[in-house]
């Protein structure tokens, strides 16, 4: 069996047994759920950034829209947690699909700046539309509801909600893995490696960038929906460009061109945020910033990139 199979098996085994081993090292299930939520959003971004080669600083727009879609759906339309997640995911995906044509022909800094501008539009709408989104105070008054299976009702406490998140994380990760091993995924990588050569080969690069952008937005919408359910709250800050920057940091720290890189980056980012903020509540960003500088300077391929290089050398 290949090394990849062993690595994937080990990752899923650790995720499935987190409720047993995490408390032994001082962790808790709400933290594990938060890691999975942000890892999923970063994996969606990584499809665009690491595998298609397009830098986006606006992914928080679709992350936040997924959260608002879920919160508003629970508030006004249904008490079904699963349907609310689906609704939030669709909202994020549709928004990314609609705005994809605005960015698909841009490259480099122009691509990044347009994504920031789009994200800020949604941020200001959410901040000012008090009657609908709650404005600066955010949207509250909703909560995740128990799951009804006909023969049983499962309340979404901390442990149950972790496995609820893990279920959707597995779906999102599975979709990304299937895409990357499909002709579509290979085309994304070809665009990243040499966009002009891909054009000469007859590939409609803009359409594939649009597809990558829309899929990344769909995954971010799913993560945002789960984030809203975890906190039973969503605010404009989840749409802000700083949140997009956090996702970029996670992808870069773990390894942009590695499938599990964003998960490793999310573990580091959320872990540092939780641990350091308990001692230095106003300075945890300093630790993250310093670590990010070190990563960019000394291991630009991320932690998994370094591990892969050393494994090949051995």
Q: Each residue of 127-143: pLDDT tens digit? A: 998 888 888 888 988 88
Helix (H, G, I), strand (E, B), or coil: what is residue 234?
strand
DSSP bridge pairs for 154 = 147
Structural domain contains residue 313:
no
Whether 241 is covered by a domain: the verdict is: yes
pLDDT of the residue at 39: 97
Residue with tokens 């299930």: 29
pLDDT score for 314: 57
Q: Which of 273, 267, 309 is closest to 18 using CA atoms? A: 267
Q: What is the pLDDT of residue 134?
A: 86
Task: Report whether pLDDT(96) > 60.
Answer: yes
Closest CA to 175 of 60, 6, 44: 44
Q: What is the mean pLDDT of residues 114-137?
A: 91
* Residue 203 resides in a domain: yes
| C-alpha span between 68 and 233 (Å, rounded) | 9
Which segments of the chain are extended strands (E)?
A: 147-148, 153-154
**Residue for token digits 């609609």?**
98
Percentage of the chain surpassing pLDDT 90? 60
Residue 133 lies in a domain: yes
Question: Is residue 255 scored above 80 in pLDDT?
Answer: yes
pTM score of the predicted model: 0.93
Residue position matching structure tokens 């942000």: 38
In sequence order, which residues have a C-beta less than 8 Å from that of residue 274 and are 6 or more positions away? 31, 34
Assess contact for 57 and 241: CB atoms under 8 A.
yes
Residue 9 lies in a domain: no
Please, which pLDDT band fits residue 210 given cuts at 50, 70 and 90?
very high
Give a yes or no: residue 24 inside a domain: no
Nearest of 52, 304, 89, 301 to residue 180 by alpha carbon: 52
Q: Would the pLDDT of 58 be above 70?
A: yes
The answer to whether residue 101 scores a pLDDT higher than 90 is: yes
Question: What is the chain's percent helix, strand, coil content, to nearest 5?
Answer: 75, 0, 20
Q: Is the pLDDT of residue 41 over 90?
A: yes
Which residues face 139 on adjacent strands? Answer: 234
Report residue 313's pLDDT band, with 50, 70 and 90 as the boundaries.
Answer: low
What average pLDDT does range 235-242 have in this prediction?
Answer: 91
In a domain, 265, yes or no: no
Q: What is the pLDDT of residue 287?
A: 81
Dist CA 189 CA 124 (whole Å):
34
Total domains in the fold of the chain:
1
What range defines the domain where residue 116 resides? Answer: 29-250
Mean pLDDT of the chain: 90
Lowest mean pLDDT among 77-81, 115-119, 278-282, 294-298: 278-282
Residue with the bigger pLDDT between 50 and 303: it is: 50
Does residue 43 fall inside a structural domain?
yes
């Amino acid at each position: 069996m290949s090394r990849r199979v062993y690595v994937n098996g080990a990752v899923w085994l650790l995720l499935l047994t987190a409720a047993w081993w995490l408390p032994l090292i001082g962790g808790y299930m709400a933290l594990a759920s938060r890691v999975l939520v942000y890892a999923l959003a970063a994996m969606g971004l990584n499809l665009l950034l690491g595998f298609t080669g397009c830098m986006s600083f606006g992914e928080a727009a679709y992350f936040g829209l997924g959260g608002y879609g879920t919160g508003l759906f629970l508030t006004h339309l249904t008490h079904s947690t699963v349907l609310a997640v689906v609704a939030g995911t669709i909202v994020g995906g549709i928004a990314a699909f609609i705005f994809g044509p605005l960015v698909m022909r841009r490259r480099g800094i122009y691509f990044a700046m347009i994504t920031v501008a789009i994200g800020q539009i949604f941020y200001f709408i959410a901040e000012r539309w008090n009657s609908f989104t709650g404005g600066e105070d955010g949207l509250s008054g909703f909560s995740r509801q128990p799951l009804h299976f006909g023969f049983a009702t499962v309340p979404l406490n901390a442990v149950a909600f972790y496995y609820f998140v893990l279920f959707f994380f597995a779906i999102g990760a599975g979709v990304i893995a299937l895409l990357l091993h499909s002709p579509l995924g290979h085309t994304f990588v070809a665009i990243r490696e040499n966009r002009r050569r891909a054009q000469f080969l007859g590939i409609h690069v803009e359409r594939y960038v649009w597809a990558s952008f829309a899929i990344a937005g769909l995954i971010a919408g799913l993560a945002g929906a789960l984030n809203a359910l975890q906190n039973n709250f969503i605010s404009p800050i989840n749409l802000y460009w700083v949140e997009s920057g956090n996702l970029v940091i996670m992808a870069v720290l773990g390894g942009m061109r590695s499938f599990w890189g964003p998960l490793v980056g999310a573990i580091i980012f959320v872990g540092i945020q939780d641990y350091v903020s308990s001692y230095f509540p106003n300075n945890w960003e300093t630790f993250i910033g310093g670590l990010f500088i070190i990563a960019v300077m000394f291991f630009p391929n991320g932690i998994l990139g370094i591990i892969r290089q050393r494994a090949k050398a051995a």
